[in-house]
Structure 1
Amino acid sequence: MPIIRLNPRNEQSLPQPGFNEVGVSLYPYDSSLPMVYDGITREKGRSDRIKYICPKAKKTRIKGKT
């Protein structure tokens, strides 16, 4: 089950995300949209993290960079 830490300093202003039956977090402003898998972040000295992005976001490539 994924665990998403929320910044406790901003808890009041952030909507709480829900989770679907598979455990993927849902878009906080529309609970019918699941977040989209965006890969794994691997950094030296840190544990691997799975990234999810907003379902309404669109990735584009500019000069070879995303």
Structure 2
Amino acid sequence: MPIISLNPRNSSDLPQPGFNEVGVPLCPNDHSLPMVYDGITREKDRADRIKYICPKAKKTNINGRTTYILSCDNP
């Protein structure tokens, strides 16, 4: 019987998000808030990944860099 050990670097104590009826992840702290689509990450030699951000986060541009401002009490 083959045994595959778990990689401890891939495990975390963060709460896992749920999903709504159309497959959009929900906020792990408030399951009534669906996450907001934030684009697709395309990197060389990697699979494309869909990005979602917290609905209480605001994406701003400061000095030519993208910054996220959170309005959540418990991010």
Counterpart CA distance in 1 for 2:14 and 2:64 is 34
The alignment's TM-score, normalised by the length of structure 2, stands at: 0.69
Identity in percent: 79
User: Any idea what SS the aligned residue of 1:33 has?
Assistant: coil
Task: Map Cα deviations across residues 19-63 of structure 1 (whole Å, 9 max, x no partner).
Answer: 100001100000000011000001011111110011111111112
Q: Give the TM-score normalised by structure 1.
A: 0.77
Partner of 2:53: 53
Letter in 1 for 2:65: K
Partner SS state of residue 59, structure 1:
strand
Please state if 1:36 is matched with 2:36: yes
Higher relative contact order, structure no. (Cα contacts within 8 Å, ≥ 6 residues apart): 1
Query: Structure 1 regions of 5+ residues with no counterpart?
Result: 1-6
Partner of 1:4: none
Which stretches of structure 1, 4 residues or longer, exceed 2 Å deviation after superposition? none
Count of aligned positions: 57
Give me the whole-angstrom Cα distance separating, in 1, the residues matched to 2:45 and 2:15: 31
